[in-house]
Amino acid sequence: MPVADLPTLEFLSGMLDTLAAGTVDLPAFPQVVIKVQEAFKDPGYTPQKIARVVATERSLADRLLQMANSTAFNATGRVIIDLGVAINRLGAQKVYSVALGHAVAHIRQDESLRAIVPRLDELWSESVTVAHFADAVAKRSSLPFPGAFAAGLLHGIGRLYIIVQTVKQGTSIQVPLNAALVDAWHPAIGKAVLKNWQMDEAACEAVGAQAELNIVRPGPPTLTDVLIASIRLATRMQNSSDTESLNAGGAFARLDLTAEACKSLIAQASEETRALQRALRP
């Protein structure tokens, strides 16, 4: 390994060690997200109980209502104004993942991160697109993965965490971070962040294994396959000249997604993704 890469490796490994010890260091993390998590832990929770917690932060309540009324989740077109009804429609996994997404969007408002807001916005936009595809692929394949949307929405949390920590370290990082090492390490860092946030285990595993494109997995398709396929679909949607992302095999084969099926999913995604972007915009 070139000597210039060592600072990046030390920085990333130290970050992973800190996360393994149970410390997630993100600025301006809203307390309402922690309260939502605690409410879902109650085996007797109801949508109305969750609604009372969410209602304490109007911006999060508005996000959930907008999402429940988006074309992706409201095929009837009947407007929902009751927060409890919206939460019931979306389901626990989506509500909690949107709460975490709200926290990520809130983080970008921290004054110390002003310089990287465009990068954070780009990452968030990509994440919303992957979330849409993850949900669509799971539904198309009739797979019981309620955590698919969450895995898609939060698949880039490791990359976000690295970016934020780089800014916090400031001048102590003597050289630019090696991009290849960041690509290699961000899934494990993302998995560690989500484990600290007590996300669904399958979603944590999928985020951690998102780059394992060539691993042969026995048995039925997993959430990891859904996430890998969704990232590839999002890549192709954002870059129509990409000739690699829809190559057959791997996750696509395990999910029985042909090139034609992939192109159909992409063609259908445009309007629904825009609706999600509006509902979940930072």
How high is the pLDDT of residue 205?
Answer: 95
Verify that 180 and 251 share a domain, yes or no: yes
CA distances from 150 to 33, 55, 147, 202, 227 (A): 14, 21, 5, 10, 10
The pLDDT tens digits for 220-249 are 899 999 999 999 999 988 887 766 667 777
Band of the pLDDT at 218, cuts 50, 70, 90? Answer: confident
pLDDT of residue 2: 47
Same domain, 79 and 19: no
pLDDT-wise least confident of 89-98, 146-155, 238-247: 238-247
| 100-144 pLDDT per residue, tens | 878 877 787 788 888 888 888 888 889 989 999 999 999 888 888
Q: Is 64 buried (19+), middle (13-18) or exposed (0-12) by CB count in 10 A?
A: buried
202, 97: one domain: no
pLDDT > 50? residue 1:
no
Q: Are 182 and 5 in contact (CB under 8 A)?
A: no
Higher pLDDT among residues 213 and 251, named by residue: 251
Q: Nearest-CA neighbor of 22 among 213, 257, 197?
A: 197
Q: pLDDT-based confidence at 86, cuts 50/70/90? A: very high
The domain containing residue 7 runs over which residues?
1-24+113-282
pLDDT for residue 160 is more than 80: yes
Same-domain status, 37 and 176: no
- Among 28-32, 45-49, 81-85, 97-101, the minimum mean pLDDT is found in 28-32
- 215 and 90 belong to one structural domain: no
Decide if 233 contacts 262 (C-beta within 8 A).
yes
Q: Model's pTM, two decimal places?
A: 0.84
* 199 and 261 inside one domain: yes
Residues 192 and 96 in one domain: no
Which of 56, 82, 109 is the C-terminal boundary of a domain? 109
* pLDDT tens per residue, range 188-216: 999 999 988 888 889 999 999 999 887 77
Do 7 and 145 share a domain, yes or no? yes
**pLDDT score of 245:** 66
| Count of domains for the chain | 2
**Largest CA-CA distance found in the chain, in angstroms, rounded:** 60
Pair (228, 160) in one structural domain: yes
Same structural domain for residues 264 and 232? yes
Q: How many CB atoms lie within 10 A of CB 99?
A: 24
Where does a domain end: 109, 137, 163? 109
The answer on 150 and 131 residing in a single domain is: yes
| pLDDT above 60 (res 22) | yes
The 10 Å Cβ neighbour count of residue 263 is 13
Mean pLDDT (whole number) for 252-258: 89
250 and 117 in a common domain:
yes
Give the number of residues written for the chain: 282
The last residue of a domain, from among 91, 109, 127:
109
More confident residue, 110 or 158: 158
pLDDT > 60? residue 174? no
Specify the higher pLDDT residue, 157 or 271.
157
CA Rg value for the chain: 19
pLDDT value at position 204?
Answer: 93
Out of 52-56, 117-121, 174-178, 223-227, least confident range: 174-178
